[in-house]
Structure formats: C-alpha cells, structure tokens
C-alpha cells in the first residue's frame, strides 16, 4: 500500500478545530488528536506519569499527572515548562508514529494545535487552518463557562495569531457556520481521494 495522505489541522482556541476534525472522521478519515494523546500519557499508567514524577513528585496525584499541579509548577518555576516538554514531546511523537503505523486509512488527519510552532507541518501533505471571526471565537470560548475574558486574552497572546496560521496553511476552513465547514471538509476529502486514486 502506498503512503497515506497526511493532513495537518490547526487553529486557535474556539475556532472549531475539534468539530472540524470530527467532520473529517465522518468522511472516513482516521484522526489523531494531539490533546487526546497528551491526556493518555498523563492518565493512570500513561507513559509520562513516572518521568514527570521523577521531575516533580507533587505533579502526580492518584497515579496520574495533575494538570492543575503542572499549571502551578509552571507558574512558580520558569524552567518547569521546558522540563515538561522535554518529557512529553518525544512521547507524543511516538504516539503519533504508532497511530500512523497501525492505521489502514488512505487519509490521516493530525489535529495539532501547535502544528506550525513545532514544525510538524513539514511532515504533512496538506495543512489546514480552521478559522472564524474574532467575535465568534470569543462568543464560543466564553460560552463554555470555563474561562473569563482575561484568561482568553492570555491564551490568545500565547498562541500564533490567526492571521499567521491562515497565511501559512495550504487551506483555510471557515467555521462560522457548521454547514459551510462541512461542505469545505467534503470538498477537501473528495479532492484528495481523486488525486490519490488517479
């Protein structure tokens, strides 16, 4: 079998990345989610638990890595994030490689928030950024009820600007409406299948 076609999907908070990834899955595309991989690594028995415990025993509670404890550690120690990333990034890469090796789908989608920041875009055949208006983004994030305006601003400052993601991506999927986003997903998948079957 020839190499699967690889799509890298990215987008800022509240842009509709998870929803768009689910739409690709509905079209028969195998989806790997970076956030879900980290969740697996941090949960009980996950590959990151013991290495994180070795760095900071207080970051592990009930046999799993505590995200709240990690946040506190990062806030208190300027070297913490680098130490955590040194453990987690290679494990995430391994998880992604295993997914790729064991998938029999002809199209693979990699849902990676830091696609461009980590250089993972170099491994993709196509990069896609999801985007919506700043007003819609703010409305969606605040509607979740998990953060306020100030927290959202901090995240937006830390993330690559939407305009830059749009400029760097091969394709941009506008997610202001579900129907519009779904039509764009269907068109991209149909185009890839046409190319790969040719």
If asked whether residues 119 and 24 sit together in one domain, one would say yes
Domain of residue 178: give its range. Answer: 1-29+107-193
Q: Quick one: how far is CA 13 from the chain centroid?
A: 10
Tell me which of 81, 104, 127 is where a domain ends: 104
If asked whether residues 23 and 44 sit together in one domain, one would say no
Cα separation, 144 vs 157, in Å, equals 19
Number of domains in the chain: 2
The CATH number given to whatever domain includes residue 7 is: 3.40.50.300
If asked whether residues 48 and 71 sit together in one domain, one would say yes
pTM: 0.90
Tell me which of 54, 72, 104 is where a domain ends: 104
If asked whether residues 111 and 122 sit together in one domain, one would say yes
Per-residue pLDDT tens digits for 82-121: 999 999 999 999 999 999 999 999 999 999 999 999 899 9
If asked whether residues 90 and 111 sit together in one domain, one would say no
Per-residue pLDDT tens digits for 55-88: 999 999 999 999 999 999 998 999 999 999 999 9
In a domain, 198, yes or no: no
Q: How much of the chain is helix, strand and coil, in % rounded to 5?
A: 55, 15, 30
């Amino acid at each position: 079998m020839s190499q699967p076609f690889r799509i890298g999907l990215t987008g800022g908070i509240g842009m509709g990345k998870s929803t768009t990834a689910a739409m690709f899955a509905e079209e028969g595309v195998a989806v790997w989610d970076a956030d879900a991989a980290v969740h697996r690594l941090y949960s009980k028995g996950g590959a990151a638990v013991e290495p994180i415990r070795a760095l900071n025993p207080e970051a592990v509670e009930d046999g799993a890595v505590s995200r709240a404890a990690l946040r506190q550690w990062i806030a208190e120690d300027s070297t913490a994030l680098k130490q955590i990333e040194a453990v987690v990034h290679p494990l995430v890469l391994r998880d992604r490689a295993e997914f790729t090796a064991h998938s029999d789908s002809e199209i693979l989608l990699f849902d990676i928030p830091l696609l461009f920041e980590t250089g993972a875009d170099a491994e993709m055949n196509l990069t896609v950024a999801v985007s919506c208006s700043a007003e819609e983004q703010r409305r969606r994030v605040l509607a979740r009820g998990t953060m306020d305006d100030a927290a959202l601003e901090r995240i937006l400052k830390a993330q690559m600007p939407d305009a830059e993601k749009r400029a760097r991506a091969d394709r941009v999927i506008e997610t202001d409406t579900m129907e519009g986003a779904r039509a764009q997903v269907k068109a991209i998948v149909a185009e890839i299948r046409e190319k790969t079957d040719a």
